[in-house]
Amino acid sequence: LVNKMKLYKIPLLFISETHLTESTTYNIDGYTFIFSSASTPATGVGVIIAPWLRPLISSITCHSERIIEVQVSASPMPLVFLGVYAPIQKEDQEHSDLRSKFWTKLAEIIMPIPQITPLYICGDFNTRLQGRSETEKTVIGPHIYGKGFHT
């Protein structure tokens, strides 16, 4: 991942479904890896920060094994990035409860952020898309369930 970040000059890379059972931080070639994890199986989020961006990071908050927040200093206000990993979308009560708790937690994190603050939410929302238009090909991948393409 560090090699790809160097090659493509990627300043910030979020990772989801890390499967790590403990939160940890380490460095590789000056790139900082920060993981927010818990003993919950098949969860975990992380972020890799390029060394040239690190001095601009004003805060990093590990909210849960599914949400990590990075604030980057900018003028006139910081940029806020959230790396997320939503629970899978299944119809049973257990997964429904997990998803409800996740969306509630995400809303609690987002609500105090001023509306004029640039906010970027990155990650895996585990959502089953029913269709996409031709103009969405660059932002929505080929994995569509049900109806397929919309015109």
The pLDDT tens digits for 70-110 are 999 998 899 999 999 999 877 778 778 999 999 999 999 99
Q: Kindly report whether the global pTM for this prediction surpasses the value 0.75.
A: yes
Distance CA 71, CA 11 (A): 13
CA 141, 84, 15, 96 dihedral sign is negative
CA 67, 48, 18, 59 dihedral sign is negative
Amino acid, res. 62: C
Largest alpha-carbon pair distance within the chain? 47
Distance CA 145, CA 151 (A): 16
> Which residues have a Cβ under 8 Å from the Cβ of 137 and sit 6 or more positions away?
none
Label the pairing between strands 57-64 and 45-49: unpaired
Kind and range of the H or E element at 99? Answer: helix 93-110
Distance CA 13, CA 1 (A): 9
Per-residue pLDDT of 10-58, as tens digits, reads 999 999 999 998 999 999 999 999 999 998 878 999 999 999 999 999 9
